[in-house]
Amino acid sequence: MMSFWQPVADAWTIFEDHPGHWEYNYAIPDPDPAPVTTIGWQIVHVATCKQMYHEWAYGPAKLTWPELTIPHTASGAIALLDAGHALLRADLLGLSEDDLNLPRRTNWGEVWPASRIFTVLIDHDALHGGAIGQMRDLYFGAAGRRQV
Protein backbone atom coordinates (compact mmCIF):
# COMPACT_ATOMS: atom_id res chain seq x y z
CA MET A 1 0.00 0.00 0.00
CA MET A 2 1.27 3.47 -0.90
CA SER A 3 2.14 5.79 1.95
CA PHE A 4 2.41 9.57 1.95
CA TRP A 5 4.52 11.81 4.17
CA GLN A 6 2.57 12.88 7.23
CA PRO A 7 3.71 15.74 9.49
CA VAL A 8 2.20 13.96 12.54
CA ALA A 9 0.73 10.55 13.27
CA ASP A 10 -2.92 10.20 12.24
CA ALA A 11 -2.86 13.23 9.93
CA TRP A 12 -5.71 13.34 7.45
CA THR A 13 -4.43 12.15 4.09
CA ILE A 14 -5.27 10.26 0.90
CA PHE A 15 -5.59 6.51 1.37
CA GLU A 16 -6.60 3.37 -0.50
CA ASP A 17 -9.79 2.16 1.18
CA HIS A 18 -10.01 -0.94 -1.01
CA PRO A 19 -7.87 -2.13 -3.94
CA GLY A 20 -7.79 0.49 -6.67
CA HIS A 21 -10.12 2.96 -4.89
CA TRP A 22 -8.73 6.00 -3.15
CA GLU A 23 -10.38 8.23 -0.59
CA TYR A 24 -9.45 11.14 1.62
CA ASN A 25 -10.34 11.70 5.25
CA TYR A 26 -13.28 13.99 5.89
CA ALA A 27 -15.96 14.42 8.53
CA ILE A 28 -19.10 16.50 8.96
CA PRO A 29 -19.22 18.32 11.26
CA ASP A 30 -15.58 19.35 11.36
CA PRO A 31 -13.73 17.70 14.23
CA ASP A 32 -12.67 19.89 17.13
CA PRO A 33 -9.79 20.32 17.26
CA ALA A 34 -9.27 20.21 13.52
CA PRO A 35 -6.90 17.47 12.40
CA VAL A 36 -3.53 18.10 10.82
CA THR A 37 -3.69 17.38 7.10
CA THR A 38 -1.15 16.44 4.44
CA ILE A 39 -0.22 18.46 1.36
CA GLY A 40 -2.00 15.87 -0.77
CA TRP A 41 -5.13 16.16 1.35
CA GLN A 42 -5.12 19.94 0.98
CA ILE A 43 -4.75 19.85 -2.81
CA VAL A 44 -7.40 17.16 -3.29
CA HIS A 45 -9.79 18.99 -0.95
CA VAL A 46 -9.46 22.27 -2.86
CA ALA A 47 -9.81 20.47 -6.20
CA THR A 48 -12.91 18.49 -5.22
CA CYS A 49 -14.57 21.58 -3.74
CA LYS A 50 -14.06 23.36 -7.06
CA GLN A 51 -15.71 20.45 -8.86
CA MET A 52 -18.68 20.43 -6.50
CA TYR A 53 -19.24 24.20 -6.55
CA HIS A 54 -19.19 24.13 -10.35
CA GLU A 55 -21.46 21.06 -10.51
CA TRP A 56 -24.15 22.56 -8.31
CA ALA A 57 -23.95 26.23 -9.31
CA TYR A 58 -23.45 25.81 -13.07
CA GLY A 59 -23.71 22.12 -13.91
CA PRO A 60 -26.45 19.51 -13.73
CA ALA A 61 -26.40 19.39 -9.88
CA LYS A 62 -26.24 15.59 -9.71
CA LEU A 63 -22.68 14.74 -8.63
CA THR A 64 -22.24 13.69 -5.01
CA TRP A 65 -19.09 13.49 -2.88
CA PRO A 66 -18.91 9.66 -2.94
CA GLU A 67 -18.94 9.74 -6.77
CA LEU A 68 -15.77 11.84 -7.00
CA THR A 69 -12.64 10.09 -8.21
CA ILE A 70 -9.87 10.83 -5.74
CA PRO A 71 -6.38 10.92 -7.26
CA HIS A 72 -3.55 9.20 -5.43
CA THR A 73 -0.56 10.86 -7.09
CA ALA A 74 0.73 14.43 -7.05
CA SER A 75 0.28 14.73 -10.81
CA GLY A 76 -3.30 13.43 -10.54
CA ALA A 77 -4.12 15.88 -7.76
CA ILE A 78 -2.69 18.82 -9.74
CA ALA A 79 -4.61 17.73 -12.85
CA LEU A 80 -7.85 17.61 -10.82
CA LEU A 81 -7.10 21.05 -9.37
CA ASP A 82 -6.39 22.47 -12.84
CA ALA A 83 -9.60 20.94 -14.21
CA GLY A 84 -11.71 22.38 -11.38
CA HIS A 85 -10.12 25.79 -11.82
CA ALA A 86 -10.78 25.70 -15.58
CA LEU A 87 -14.46 24.86 -15.01
CA LEU A 88 -14.97 27.79 -12.64
CA ARG A 89 -12.97 30.16 -14.81
CA ALA A 90 -15.20 29.29 -17.77
CA ASP A 91 -18.28 29.80 -15.58
CA LEU A 92 -17.06 33.23 -14.51
CA LEU A 93 -16.04 34.33 -18.01
CA GLY A 94 -19.56 33.53 -19.20
CA LEU A 95 -21.17 35.97 -16.76
CA SER A 96 -22.10 39.61 -17.12
CA GLU A 97 -21.81 41.92 -14.14
CA ASP A 98 -25.56 41.62 -13.58
CA ASP A 99 -25.30 37.81 -13.68
CA LEU A 100 -23.15 37.94 -10.54
CA ASN A 101 -26.33 38.71 -8.59
CA LEU A 102 -28.28 35.72 -9.95
CA PRO A 103 -29.10 32.91 -7.52
CA ARG A 104 -26.94 29.77 -7.68
CA ARG A 105 -27.24 26.48 -5.83
CA THR A 106 -24.72 24.99 -3.43
CA ASN A 107 -24.29 21.25 -2.99
CA TRP A 108 -25.79 21.43 0.52
CA GLY A 109 -29.01 23.12 -0.61
CA GLU A 110 -28.49 26.82 0.03
CA VAL A 111 -28.93 29.37 -2.72
CA TRP A 112 -26.34 32.15 -2.97
CA PRO A 113 -25.71 34.99 -5.41
CA ALA A 114 -23.18 33.88 -8.04
CA SER A 115 -20.64 36.39 -6.73
CA ARG A 116 -20.60 34.62 -3.36
CA ILE A 117 -19.70 31.30 -5.00
CA PHE A 118 -16.55 32.89 -6.40
CA THR A 119 -15.59 34.93 -3.33
CA VAL A 120 -15.98 31.90 -1.06
CA LEU A 121 -13.76 29.86 -3.36
CA ILE A 122 -11.12 32.60 -3.47
CA ASP A 123 -11.07 32.67 0.35
CA HIS A 124 -11.04 28.87 0.44
CA ASP A 125 -8.07 28.73 -1.95
CA ALA A 126 -6.16 31.30 0.13
CA LEU A 127 -6.78 29.40 3.37
CA HIS A 128 -5.70 26.05 1.97
CA GLY A 129 -2.87 27.54 -0.08
CA GLY A 130 -1.41 28.87 3.16
CA ALA A 131 -1.74 25.44 4.76
CA ILE A 132 0.02 23.87 1.76
CA GLY A 133 2.88 26.34 2.14
CA GLN A 134 3.19 25.57 5.83
CA MET A 135 3.20 21.80 5.23
CA ARG A 136 5.79 22.22 2.48
CA ASP A 137 8.05 24.13 4.87
CA LEU A 138 7.59 21.44 7.54
CA TYR A 139 8.38 18.72 5.01
CA PHE A 140 11.64 20.36 3.95
CA GLY A 141 12.58 21.28 7.50
CA ALA A 142 11.67 17.96 9.13
CA ALA A 143 14.65 16.00 7.89
CA GLY A 144 16.94 18.73 6.62
CA ARG A 145 15.64 18.21 3.07
CA ARG A 146 16.72 20.78 0.52
CA GLN A 147 14.19 22.61 -1.59
CA VAL A 148 14.86 22.28 -5.29
Q: What is the pLDDT of residues 79-131, one digit of tens each?
A: 999 999 999 999 999 999 999 999 999 999 999 999 999 999 999 999 999 99
31 in a domain, yes or no?
no
Structural domain count, the chain: 1
Burial of 68 from C-beta contacts in 10 A (0-12 / 13-18 / 19+): middle
27 in a domain, yes or no?
no
**Whether this model's pTM surpasses 0.85:** yes
Domain of 91 in residue numbering reads as: 39-142
131 in a domain, yes or no?
yes
13 in a domain, yes or no?
no
CATH code (residue 74): 1.20.120.450
70 CB-near residues (< 8 Å, 6+ apart): 14, 22, 23, 24, 44, 48
